[in-house]
A and B are shown apart, each in its own frame.
Chain A
Amino acid sequence: MVGLPPFHVMSGESPFAGVVEAVKQRFGDSVKEVKVDAKKITKLVVDASAVVDVARYLRDNFGIDHVKAVTGVDLIKLAKKEDRIEVVYQVGSYSREELRGGVLNLSVKLDRSSPEMPSLCGIWPSAEYHERETYEMLGVVFKEHPNLTRLLLPEFWSDKPPLRKDYEAPGR
């Protein structure tokens, strides 16, 4: 695409290794954790306050143009228990061929009692329905989302968000 510097990807390496490195340099302390594994996962954990800037930086500088999925994970029952909810954006690029071979996981960890984060719909419109799903399934509130309403669950649902670990499916 126009205006983007050429980008070299080594074979056998995660296509996003260079991207992760650039984000680390640019955002410094806001990047909490980095995991680069070409086989399993390439993950970037950032602060909720910086996530919009990181997303915009990724979109404008690396051509990361769409969201593949938004995954909410309740971390309360991990062996290394954390009282938090993790929201992972699986993002990728169609417009840059060298990045098509991978998926970048942009992750935010939120406080479990009141999970709130800014919506990334303004940057990636493809996140809209994924965020609505995460909202109803894990109770994460996305601020400034254009239409944060129930999507898949029935209208009469009044229990806890079902994908939280303390929700027990009836009959189990």
Chain B
Amino acid sequence: MSAPAIRCDGLCRWYGEVQGLSGITLEIGAGVAGLLGPNGSGKSTFMRLATGLISPNRGWVEVFGKRMDRPDRYEVFRRVGYAVGEDTHFESERAVDFLRMLAMLGGAGSEQAKDLADRALDRVVLTDRADTKLSGMSKGMRQRVKLAQALLFEPELLLLDEPLNGMDPVSRRSTLDLVRAWGASGRTVVFASHVLHEVEAVTERVVLLHHGRLLAEGLLAEIRELVDLRPRRVRLEGVGLAAMAAAALAEGIASGVTTHPSGAVHLETRQLPALLERLATSGASGAIHSMEIDDADLETLFALLLEESV
């Protein structure tokens, strides 16, 4: 049986007194895995450990069965593409030269490197910017160049650290499509982000990190269910809302109502889908002018999971 793309056990990393990652044990196999966590949660530390750029203080990490704290780790990079979280830093280079240089570092000859660079640029729709220096590109374009360099050798494992930062909506969509396609082809993508809906857009499988600890791991839907058990707030503006709210309360689909002097009504519910159905029926006549639902965003999710873990 072939080794999983990434396997780690008791992985710990400190930066002086600061805990970067603490006791992470997990396996990541084929498909897209979302690495989700707020800034400083340990996502980039995990990526660096998985690429051998930093060494663990304790524990170990393997990529395709190869320990990444050993000198012979470089062999595994034939199968790995990594887009670092930071900017590209080779500002004086033209995009094509930058990619060509990295392709040659991967062992390609000069001509082959040029072909690989052209193909990678084409993949991220930057062919027309091949001769532009990285310093002359927008952040979104540089992000695409970063993605291109990770794709140079069609890697079996793609590690993307906040790949959508600074990208325009069109680039975001094409990047998300690419990530989904990569995962669907049987290869592995680790997609790190601090934005929940970005991760939701590419995968259902997530690893949640918080303050360097593994908070949860599994299907996003299962984690979402936990979130959905928490009372949610729906803010309504319109006419005749008091009667509608009273009816929802009586039917048991709302657990609390607050009426504001402005006429706005806040409903609290543990049955959000049922409430939304009810409101859709009642509000079809135009009684509801606006509706806002507090999103189960990352903070909510983490707050909930932290409560659960206490």
Note whether A and B form a binding pair.
no
